[in-house]
Amino acid sequence: MGAAGPACAVREPLSREPLSREPLSREPLSREPLSREPLSREPLSREPLSREPLSREPPARSVLRHVRLENLAAGMSGGVLSTLALHPLDLVKIRFAVSDGLELRPKYNGILHCMSTVWKHEGLRGLYQGVTPNMVGAGASWGLYFFFYNAIKAYKKEGKMESLSASEHLVSAAEAGAMTLCITNPIWVTKTRLVLQYNAGVDPSKRQYRGMFDALIKIYKTEGIRGLYKGFVPGLFGTSHGALQFMAYEDLKERYNKYRNRVSDTKLNTVEYIMMAAVSKIFAVVATYPYQVVRARLQDQHNTYSGVFDVIRRTWRKEGVHGFYKGIIPNVIRVTPACCITFVVYENVSGFLLGFRKENN
């Protein structure tokens, strides 16, 4: 008895401790995750909450969110100033472009001869024939172009960290050009008709149109809407000019900033803007000039063509390749500084106006 008593007392705690304490301490740890599993599944069943951004996305992606009147005002300013400065060269370019051998047209031996002849017979007024529609057209065209282009570009860039590709700039500029042309084509027809009133400064009786609005009314009365939209089809092809120019301009700016180890959209100084604008413009002119000759001849009141292909066929037959590049030298001389003026004015005015908007907001 005395020996058995102590042996039983020692064995009891050894056999009960692992059985009673170990499971009690481990069981809650193993059961707790199992009891909480349904709670972790509940958010998964409520995932329709992720549909809210989808319902708000269409208004967030609207192109109208990116419309800025500052771009319109800045573009108009650049277009008007460059036109006032360089309109006589534009007049020379158009007269060369339509020079197809008709006897009623004056004969010019070169740029200087053309300008001196106009000055001699028609004076300063002759050199600025058609300046009003040209100024209105250039102001409206550049204003609308920058207005549409920047809105489309910002819309396409929304939500993207990287810059737009060259092809995206090309398409954005082409879309902006097509929309601009739909509005401004009648102004360009009017300008062409006014510029081609030969000797109107000497003999007012030979003046078919007294001014921009008189020309618009007379063209509409005699030729209808079709007359105001002459040259529209080659003009649409001509959107490739602006598209190529803007693509080159944007690409040059981006590459230049990358070369200078700067952020791609860093603002440049005036000299840098002039360089980018000049190179991009010359590239676009050389690539697309023939369409301008075709368009000018379609809009000319002294000759009748049945359409674009008729102009191309007759020009090729009579004048060859040279006929499609008539007036390109005065055009390059005119448009390169004009483009530089336009882009420098635009970049500075838009930067000021958009900066002013940010400060007020």
Phi, psi (degrees; rounded to nearest 5) at 209: -125, 135
Quick one: pLDDT at residue 198? Answer: 64
**Token pair 């084509």 in the structure block, residue:** 185
Q: Calculate mean pLDDT across residues 180-184.
A: 93
Nearest to 141 by CA among 195, 102, 189, 181: 181
Q: Calculate mean pLDDT across residues 207-213.
A: 81
Residue 2 lies in a domain: no
Dist CA 212 CA 197 (whole Å) = 13
Alpha helices in the chain (DSSP H): 4-45, 52-60, 69-97, 111-127, 131-157, 166-195, 212-228, 232-237, 239-259, 270-299, 308-319, 321-324, 328-360
Quick one: pLDDT at residue 2? Answer: 45
Q: What is the CA radius of gyration of the chain?
A: 36
Residue bearing the bigger pLDDT, 41 or 92: 92
Each residue's pLDDT tens digit, 288-309: 888 888 888 887 767 778 888 9
Q: Calculate mean pLDDT across residues 66-87.
A: 92
Q: Which of 40-49, 70-79, 122-131, 197-206 has the lowest mean pLDDT?
A: 40-49
pTM for the whole thing?
A: 0.68
- The CATH number assigned to the domain holding 266 equals 1.50.40.10
Residue 305 lies in a domain: yes
Quick one: pLDDT at residue 92? Answer: 81
Quick one: pLDDT at residue 21? Answer: 52
Residue bearing the bigger pLDDT, 152 or 25: 152
Quick one: pLDDT at residue 149? Answer: 96
Quick one: pLDDT at residue 100? Answer: 59
Q: Flag whether pLDDT at 9 surpasses 50.
A: no
Quick one: pLDDT at residue 339? Answer: 92
Residue 38 lies in a domain: no
Phi, psi (degrees; rounded to nearest 5) at 351: -60, -40
Quick one: pLDDT at residue 219? Answer: 93
Spatial CB neighbours of 149, under 8 Å, sequence gap ≥ 6: 172, 173, 176, 246
State the residue range of the domain holding 319.
67-360
Residue 40 lies in a domain: no
Phi, psi (degrees; rounded to nearest 5) at 36: -95, -5
Alpha helices in 66-165 (DSSP H): 69-97, 111-127, 131-157
The residue type at 181: L
Q: Calculate mean pLDDT across residues 216-229.
A: 93
Each residue's pLDDT tens digit, 236-246: 887 888 999 99
Q: Calculate mean pLDDT across residues 239-256.
A: 93
| Mean of per-residue pLDDT scores for the chain | 80
Residue 77 lies in a domain: yes
Q: Flag whether pLDDT at 47 surpasses 80.
A: no
Residue 8 lies in a domain: no
Dist CA 361 CA 233 (whole Å) = 43
Residue 10 lies in a domain: no
Q: Calculate mean pLDDT across residues 74-101.
A: 83
Residue 54 lies in a domain: no
Name the DSSP letter for residue 99: -
The total number of structural domains that make up the chain: 1
**Tokens representing 126?**
């002759």
